[in-house]
Chains A and B, each alone.
Chain A
């Protein structure tokens, strides 16, 4: 049994360093609301062509954008679709054989027609919704989402929680990766399963203990700077304000969502 490992592909947007200068883009609230409206309409789609056609158009748009971005953007885009489709693979190998009803004989097997339709519909919807969010929210980055939460006037406690979590992830991730690497080096090849599990749990537990200590330091630092999360005062780095282009984009998104809900 090999030692556990951690995904090292944490995107740069989680670096924990706020983008003090907001990139020229639409208002974060407009993008979030537009993505939500189109996604909800896609959830309600009944025919196969609506989510699949939407997914195809969005994929072409994203590939076009990736082509003009830095090297490797296309690969990153396709890699991000893998987790979306992991559960879909499970549906494709289970639903056609577990759903009752009319079946078709193909490749020596009996495939349920309803099961195939359900798997295809779920796959289309999952990919279309994921692509909508990638198109509209990925350029914002994590701090853009935080700005959207602030501007939507959600609970200051929730926004603080979000900002502090994001700010801590990168540092903790480095600690996790180093601790796991150290454990991997220290473990004897003849180590028993119990020793391996003990080592793995110790790495995780130590990370939680150090996190708690770090939280105490963070709390003291916030108090020293006079920051009170309950007061509702939030850091503001943005200069972008809602303008006519934001209203126009949201209007188009809502019209598209209504069209998808009615005709999809």
Chain B
């Protein structure tokens, strides 16, 4: 879901940075100092989880676990994703530092949506179902924002948007299933992780 360098226009990059700065600032404001090690370690785990290749037919894809980030970290997911994306840009050239603001905004909003979906239904729905919806909706919202960023950067990209959406839909389903399985495991082994 990373947008590469050189694709976005200057106004979209600027708006992305402003939105990301606001999100990161708010996330840091809400982050209690004693929770910093917790968020940092979860951010490192998210960074590594995104490197795990999951085979699909002849190809493979990387997970994003944005829904899980929202469930586990809430608003702290935004600075955590900012750090994880910065490291991925520096270490692997995934995304990039100029498009870091836009990527943080897209993924941050997606993670917050995932967290919101998980908490919204409270105990009315089974936890596994809420976790699936969280993982699924996070990728769907991220894809909508990604397509909007591309379209706003250059309307000539509109022909490629259905292709991007189709590949991301497959990812959304897998993310939903994997998020549900992970949350199910956590609920059995360390429920306080989900309660926080």
Contacts and interface: CB of A to CB of B under 8 A. Distances in A.
A complexed with B: yes
Contacts of A13: 91
B38 A212 contact: yes
A180 B7 CA distance: 35
Given A145-B90, A204-B49, A161 B160 contact: no
Interface residues of B, number: 71
A142 to B, nearest CB: 7
A119 to B, nearest CB: 10
B90 to A, nearest CB: 6
Interface in B143-178: 154, 156-160, 163, 177-178
A130 B55 contact: no
Contacts of B87: 14, 142, 165-166, 169
Main secondary structure of the interface of B (DSSP, over half): helix
Interface stretch (A76-84, A184-192, A246-254): A76-84
A158 B48 contact: no
A4 B54 contact: yes
Most buried by B among A35, A88, A121, A169: A169
Contacts of A155: 25, 28
Interface in B17-54: 24-25, 28, 31, 33-34, 36-45, 47-49, 51-54
Interface residues of A, number: 89
A180 B52 contact: yes
B159 A6 contact: no
A160 B185 contact: no
Nearest to A124: B6
Nearest to A199: B181
Contacts of B93: 80-81, 83-84, 130, 133-134
Contacts, number: 239
Contacts of A256: none
A216 B36 CA distance: 10
A90 B160 CA distance: 9
A165 B96 contact: no
Contact of A51 (B6, B91, B186): B6
Contacts of B177: 197
A208 B83 contact: no
A129 B96 contact: yes
Interface of A: 1-7, 10-11, 13-14, 35-36, 39-40, 42-44, 51, 80-81, 83-84, 87-88, 90-91, 94-95, 97-99, 114-115, 118, 121-130, 133-134, 137, 142, 145, 155, 157-158, 160-169, 172-173, 176, 180, 197-198, 200-202, 204-209, 211-212, 214-216, 218-219, 222, 228-230
Interface of B: 2-10, 13, 24-25, 28, 31, 33-34, 36-45, 47-49, 51-55, 65, 68, 72, 79-80, 82-84, 86-87, 89-94, 96-98, 154, 156-160, 163, 177-178, 181-186, 189-190, 193
27 contacts: A5-B52, A14-B87, A39-B5, A43-B98, A51-B6, A95-B156, A95-B157, A125-B6, A126-B4, A127-B6, A129-B96, A130-B96, A133-B90, A133-B96, A145-B86, A155-B25, A157-B33, A158-B28, A161-B39, A162-B86, A164-B41, A165-B84, A165-B87, A200-B181, A205-B181, A208-B45, A212-B42
